[in-house]
Amino acid sequence: MRRCMPAALGLIYMAVPLFPSFITFTGVAFPGVSLLPGAAIVAVFAGCCILAIYALTMLARYPVADSQPLLAPLLAVFVAGLLAGCLGFDPRSGLVFTIIGGLGIVWSASILRFYGDRYAATLLLGAFLLSGGIAAAIAIGMVALRSPVNLYALQHGRATGTFILPGELAGYLIVLLPIAYAVGCVARSRVLSAIAWSALGIGLIALALTFSRAGWMGCAAAAAFLVAVRTRRPAVSAAVIAAGICAVGLLFNAHHDPSEDYTRLSIWQAATQIIDRFPLLGVGPFNFSRLYALVRSPDGDPTAFHAHSLYLTFFAEFGIVGVCAVGWTTWRFVTELRRRLATASQQAALLACGAAAGLVGVAVQGLIDTVSVVIFGLWMPTMALALAAARGSADQALE
């Protein structure tokens, strides 16, 4: 049964563009349109659960204790989410998304354990880039055709696709694009290389069409990180950041409602009020919108789905306990990645840094936006991918 693990990892990566539709499980109003019918959303979620059960079986059958440096801190994040959800204002939706976070832990552990298996790296990276390129192409096509009309009108003509919101698509692409570049540079397989470069080109077009200001700056940060790693020239990285700032400055209100430009200020203020009232465990996953109406300023935006900041949202919904768990996870990831990169080959280091660049990019995007597909679908697996790639097994696997 272990021979099926590479295919299972590829399948879960291919499903990521459909993850944003899980937001319908919360029952709260969100400013977007889900293109999937309810039955399809349940089917995707059930499929992910089945893959997780299979992965847990394989992890139990083939355990390696020292290959899971992130397991303890990620379990701490899971427990923090479980506490916040059960004691929050909507335990049902909190439990659903805590379970989704638990699936992410299983996914992360599976990548670290089985990435070196024959064809595993090729299949999971190929599936990720192929599905990402297709998702980006669909988003571009929907903008060109202005279909569906309600989604096109609601998002002011910005590329969205299956991601509910343009910022979600932007966050997904910030993670995907540096990995596509790295795979394109190191892949020995012509097919995989073609998929990587195609995903990079199509993804860049889709990212531009999201008109996500936070997404553009996140992509610039990811590119600057990758440039700094490859060239060791700070001036070039600074130029990349400057180009991102110029793009945002010149197209600040493109495809945006100008009245929304300053709504984040009142939302951030409301977030600090929620944190002040529920500092220890927060209000529970996806419960920010339920409390926002009670603490917002009179002239603030009438509704807010999240705090428009990854850090404020997480603090408000998971509290100090969750923030400490995430801080532990980040510290453990950075120290372990540095240790592995010290002995990694050039190709392995580029793959690892490509994954790390995506994490840097979404960290910058997260300053003024909250992207659920990154939190629940890409954060944990991408950390695992960076560590597994740095271990060097992909040198033999990308064939």
Domain boundaries, the chain: 2-397
DSSP 376: I
Query: Which pLDDT belongs to residue 279?
Result: 92
Q: What 3-state class would DSSP assign to 80?
A: helix
Residues 24 and 286 sit within 8 Å (Cβ to Cβ): no
Q: How would residue 395 be classed by pLDDT, with cut points 50, 70 and 90?
A: very low
Q: How would residue 280 be classed by pLDDT, with cut points 50, 70 and 90?
A: very high
Mean predicted lDDT score pLDDT of the chain: 88
In the chain the first and final C-alpha atoms are separated, in Å, by 23
Q: How would residue 328 be classed by pLDDT, with cut points 50, 70 and 90?
A: very high
Which of 24-28, 159-163, 255-259 reaches the highest mean pLDDT?
Answer: 159-163
Q: How would residue 27 be classed by pLDDT, with cut points 50, 70 and 90?
A: low
Mean pLDDT computed over 272-279:
92
Rg over alpha carbons for the chain, rounded to the nearest Å, is 20
392 vs 324, residue with greater confidence? 324
With a cut of 60, say whether residue 396 has pLDDT above it: no
Sign of CA dihedral 251, 255, 261, 266: negative
Query: What distance in Å separates the CA atoms of residue 230 and residue 188, rounded to the nearest whole number?
Result: 20
- Of the listed ranges 13-27, 145-159, 251-265, 292-306, the least confidently predicted one is 251-265
Query: What distance in Å separates the CA atoms of residue 185 and residue 389, rounded to the nearest whole number?
Result: 14
Query: What distance in Å separates the CA atoms of residue 182 and residue 395, rounded to the nearest whole number?
Result: 12
Mean pLDDT computed over 22-42:
78
- Of the listed ranges 15-29, 160-174, 190-204, 246-260, the least confidently predicted one is 246-260
Sign of CA dihedral 393, 71, 103, 380: negative
Mean pLDDT computed over 125-131:
95
Q: How would residue 253 be classed by pLDDT, with cut points 50, 70 and 90?
A: confident
Q: How would residue 56 be classed by pLDDT, with cut points 50, 70 and 90?
A: very high
pLDDT in tens, 355-383: 999 999 999 999 988 888 898 889 999 99
pLDDT in tens, 184-216: 999 888 899 999 999 999 999 999 999 998 999
Kindly report the number of other CB atoms within 10 A of residue 334's CB atom: 13
